[in-house]
Structure 1
Amino acid sequence: MLESIIKINQAVNGFIWGVPAMICIIGVGLLLSVRTRFIQVRKFGAAMKNTIGKIFDKTQAKDGSMSPFQAVCTALAGTVGTGNIAGVAGAIALGGPGAIFWMWCSAFLGMCTKFSEVTLAIHFREKNANGEYVGGPMYYIKNGLSKKWHFLAVLYALFGVLTVFGTGNATQVNTIVSSIHSALHNLHIIDGTVDERANLIFGIFIAAFVAMVLLGGIQRIGQVSEKLVPFMATLYVILAIGVVILHINRVPAVFAMIFKSAFTPQAATGGIIGSMFLSMKKGVSRGIFSNEAGLGTGSIAHACADTNNAVHQGMFGIFEVFMDTIVICTLTGLVILLGAPNIVYGQAAGAELTISGFTATYGGWVSIFTAVAMCCFAFSTIIGWGLYGSRCIEFLGGEKLVRPFLVAYSFVSIIGATINLGLLWDIADTFNGLMAIPNLIALLILSGQVKKLAIDVDQAEKSGTL
């Protein structure tokens, strides 16, 4: 049975993440960049000033909404997760060091894609019966396109509900369990064998904590995210920069290897990896898994923000992709390529490969800190994606389904603690691809609207309101 599932998923995954998908993802990102005159380059300084520069301006949100800071933290909670740790490790192991280069490429275009998603989400959002702002791809499809395209909104919400269980929960819990196990093993507290009972206990504990946060409502989600995200990102970045500094003499050679491997992966991986396309496929797919540009999920959190300025909130989209992929994913890649003693190319890898990069540099004692950081990354992602799933199920069946969904979503943590990692990542990649299709079609059709809204950025900057 399991072998049949693997074969079916591999076939679907190969089609979804084949040449057409690469063309669509890159093509839509390029079209939006051209139509906004590469806003991610022109307004990069303004984006950083209005995000990093004002990120600690924590205004109080009205009931039924989040502050702009809480909204960006919740979106970052969804993006800055195991895709940055286990996802990057898997991309390098399966696609070679060149996968990092393709992550950069997807992120460059993805900054504009996510700007477009967030801006449209604010522009076309609405309020539900509880007075809460709701928005995202299903709403900008519903309110921005004609009725003949509304089936895309239903498809997006349906794929979204299915995606959150794997991408947002099971893979994250699996990484929590793996990182804790690796840390305890490196500290010689346990041997290398996996204790299924311990994994089950971890899964039950995580499920209970997830339910407690998510069932507390939109404002509790925002409150947890705004405290957890800055802490985890700062801790991880400091540890990663330390690895780079301690291996600074090898950094130029590693960057040279990344660029060379991007176009000649066979030479870089000893002939194990078959082609440059595999490197591109792993880099782009794991990059999207990490920064979510093209999936539209982050815009669901941004739609909850207590703001009327769509393009101002759109600036956070540029910041998120830059921070997530250009900064954190790159640092993870450097930690692995500089610190990991033995990378076995052609075999699936996860958080343990990233941890080995840290421990080879600092020693086994650092395992506890990396495990804490990774647990925070993964848990924050579970919370962020719980919000995404609840909005999708609400769109499909109304608010009466939200609480039962959140309970079911919480229990998936138990399954994620005990299932095969390789299959989890493959299924997550498949659902991500399915989710991206209706969103990319909507962005293509609404690119003219994005162009009009992007003009507001220039006008706001001239008037001093940006």
Structure 2
Amino acid sequence: MEGLHDFLKLLDSWLGGNPLFPFILLGTGLFFTLYLGFPQIRYFKHAWKVVTGKFDKADDPGDTSHFRALTTALSGTVGTGNISGVAFAIFLGGPAALFWMWVTAFFGMTTKFVEVTLSHKYREKTEDGTMGGGPMYFMDKGLNMKWLAVLFAVATVISSFGTGNLPQSNGIATSIQETFGFEPWIVGSVLGILLALVILGGIQRIAAVTSKIVPFMAAVYLVGAFSVIFANLENIGPSFSAIVGDLFTGSAATGGFLGASIAYAFNRGVNRGLFSNEAGQGSAPIAHAAAKTKEPVSEGVVSILEPFIDTIVICTLTGLVILSSGVWKEKHINEFERSSLEIVAGTYDENNLQDRENLYKHLNHIDGSSVEMFNGEIQVVSGKAVSGGFTIVHARSLAEDVVVTVGGDEDLFTGTLNIVDGNITKDNIVLNGKSLVHSARLTTIAFTKGFFGEFGQYIVSIGLLLFAFSTAIAWSYYGDRAMTYLFGSRSVMPYRVVYVAGFVWASFSDTELVWTLASVAIVVMTLPNLFGILMLSKEMKSTVKDYWKKFNAENKS
């Protein structure tokens, strides 16, 4: 698994971690925002009218209503990205990462509008009688680029696991284990059965389930978030100051947090923002293609609401909970994941300014760091290291009170650990101790700092369960539409079986491995989609112009 994770990290450095990717994503959103005259602002009010059914017609073609199409798409975006993803972005990039999530969402509202409109315009009925839509259809029929359509469809199948399946299952299992103590494989197995029961019913059952889950889960989560925000109201102002102030300086070291560079905050903030609202990824258009309407633009304006609800509202609340509670810079007892663990040569002290500077450069991949990986042996007696010359770094922080066990049990290890390039060579060795935490665990701890106290963790667990499970449901639909496009309706059932199996497996897999896979999967799906909508920019503008001309004529008469 360590070898696989190293390979995925390499791919991520080329793709999602590439300095150009955020500029490509934001640049596309900025271009369409200017080209179409800020539709995310001008059409915002109209979007609410459409989604409430004001302009619905019973005889319009499609499989579901505007509202259900929106909730299905929202269930695909509102998931672990809102709970785990925000925490992970702040963990990596500091408070400024949240600002870049906002920027991604603002321009993403326009990107979503464009991709949904074009996908709806080129949708078609499949052999099973349901609507098939998504970027692969406008790439095929609008651009006459079958090869690009096939590439996107394959990327969608991969991303259905990397975005909608594995991270969701892992996030649920981690949170449930943290709160209730249930073994991850048990959680994954039970939810896997429930997932199978829902997705076998197709889009009608999926839309029915998500239209009930989404409003309820949002209400529960909002109550919990505000309980923390109001309990730490005096920290809200400083939190906003840090979000904006760190934009131009990077986040300085504070508490156990060793700092983050401007570039790191920008890159991770944009990347996590995309994971959260999926604007530009091309996934939501697949759900919106099922909406009952003859007007593609009317469904496009509905989609403007997605990044707003998902990122500007829900992700902001999560970010304020984490920042105002202060837990993002505190160390907590946890079991160290191998993928987040490295042993460096020499003894470092986080209270020493020069040591902090060296570690800051090392963790943020800045030239000039003298930190080197440790190679050699560590002597351990009853779980405690008795030899020196090394420092344990876990989760981008200096680990404290480290205990070495065998197999994660209470069996304290005594013997010699061989370290090669900072990695422990023994597979059954587990380290526990105090370090920074991230993802669902960080958000869970933050929710205990409000009026509900320790009961706040249950809100996160319930919220994450509903958020992530509904995301897995929605993404199974995206994947089966892609499989239908590639291989026909007969391929859907085998895909669903593998999808459920992957969901169960991810529940007990390495969290950082799963998130790295997600980062890679997002980009391989996003790049061809952005290329496609840019190629159809003139058609998009004329389609919008025709819609408003027709709409105004009908509403005057």
CA deviations on 1:128-183 (whole Å, 9 max, x unpaired) are: 1122111001011111102xx32111111111111111211111011111121222
Q: Secondary structure at the match of 2:500?
A: helix
> For residues 117 and 449 of structure 1, what CA distance do their matches in structure 2 show?
12
Paired AA for residue 265 in structure 1: G
CA distance in 2, matches of 1:412, 1:216: 19
Q: For residue 43 of structure 2, what is the aligned residue in structure 1? A: 43
| CA deviation string 1:15-74 (max 9, x = no partner) | 1121221221111111111211111122223223433xx179998798971222111111
Unaligned runs of 5+ in 2: 331-394, 397-435
Contact 2:71 2:210 in 1 (8 A): yes
Following superposition, the deviation at residue 416 of structure 1 comes to 1.0
Q: 1:201 aligns with which of 174, 186, 204?
A: 186
Q: 1:67 aligns with which of 52, 65, 89?
A: 65
User: 5 Å matches for 1:158-169?
Assistant: 158-169=154-165
Partners of 2:62 and 2:291 within 8 A in 1: no
Is the Cα–Cα contact under 8 Å of residues 59 and 67 in structure 1 kept in the other structure?
no
Cα displacement string for residues 1-26 of structure 1 (whole angstroms, at most 9, x for unaligned residues): x2222222111111112122122111
Q: Which residue number corresponds to residue 376 of structure 1?
A: 466
Please say if 1:260 is aligned against 2:248.
Answer: no
| Percent of aligned pairs with the same amino acid | 39
Map 1:23-422 onto structure 2 (within 5 A). Answer: 23-51=23-51, 54=52, 65-146=63-144, 149-184=145-180, 190=181, 198-267=183-252, 272-343=258-329, 346=396, 349-361=438-450, 362-422=452-512
Pair 341,412 (structure 1): closer, same or farther in 2 beyond 3 Å: same
Task: Pick closer, same or farther for the CA change 1:5–1:127 going to 2, 3 Å.
Answer: same
- What is the rounded CA distance, in whole Å, between the counterparts of 1:439 and 1:348 in structure 2? 34
Q: CA deviation at 1:356?
A: 1.2
Look up the match of 1:16: 15
Q: What amino acid maps onto 1:151 in structure 2?
A: W
Give the superposition deviation at 1:421.
0.3
Higher RCO (CA < 8 A, seq sep 6+):
1
Distance across 2 between alignment mates of 1:458 and 1:58: 16
Q: Distance in 2 between matches of 1:350 and 1:7?
A: 20
1:390 deviates by 0.4
User: Would the alpha carbon gap of residues 212 and 64 (structure 1) be closer, same or farther in structure 2, given more than 3 Å must change?
Assistant: farther
Q: Aligned letter for 1:162?
A: I
Superposed CA offset, 1:307-360 (max 9, x none): 112111111211011000000000000011112435358366111111111111
Name 1:442's counterpart in structure 2.
Answer: 532
Q: 1:187: which partner in 2? A: none
Q: Tell me by how many angstroms 1:241 deviates.
A: 2.4
* TM-score of the pair, normalised by structure 2: 0.77
Counting matched residue pairs gives 450
Taking a change above 3 Å as real, the CA distance of residues 323 and 463 of structure 1, as seen in their structure-2 partners, is: farther
Judging by fraction of residues, say which structure has more strand. 2
- Tell me if structure 1 keeps the 8 A contact 2:56–2:293: no
AA aligned to 2:35 is R
* Alignment check: 8 A CA contact 1:98 1:262 kept: yes
Task: Go from structure 1 to structure 2 and tell me whether the alpha carbon gap of 1:123 and 1:59 turns closer, same or farther (over 3 Å shift).
Answer: closer
Go from structure 1 to structure 2 and tell me whether the alpha carbon gap of 1:35 and 1:358 turns closer, same or farther (over 3 Å shift): same
Q: CA deviation at 1:460?
A: 5.4
Alignment CA distance shift 1:174-1:49 (3 Å): same
Q: Provide closer, same or farther for how the CA distance between residues 45 and 64 of structure 1 changes in structure 2, counting only shifts above 3 A.
A: closer
Structure 1 runs (4+) greater than 6 angstroms displaced:
55-64
Deviation at 1:454, TM superposition (A): 2.1
Q: Provide the C-alpha distance between the structure 2 equivalents of 1:29 and 1:465, rounded to a whole number of angstroms.
A: 30
AA in 2 matched with 1:86: S
**Counterpart Cα distance in 1 of 2:127 and 2:533:** 27
How far residue 266 of structure 1 moved from its aligned partner, in angstroms, is 3.8
Name structure 1 gaps, 5 residues minimum. Answer: 185-189
Query: How big is each residue's C-alpha offset from its partner over 1:65-108, in whole Å with a ceiling of 9 and x where there is no partner?
Result: 12221111110010011100000000000111100000011111
Judged with a 3 Å threshold, the aligned counterparts in structure 2 of structure 1 residues 57 and 415 are, in CA distance, closer, same or farther, namely farther
TM-score by length of 1: 0.91
Residues 34, 395 of structure 1: CA spacing in aligned structure 2 closer, same or farther, 3 A cutoff?
Answer: same
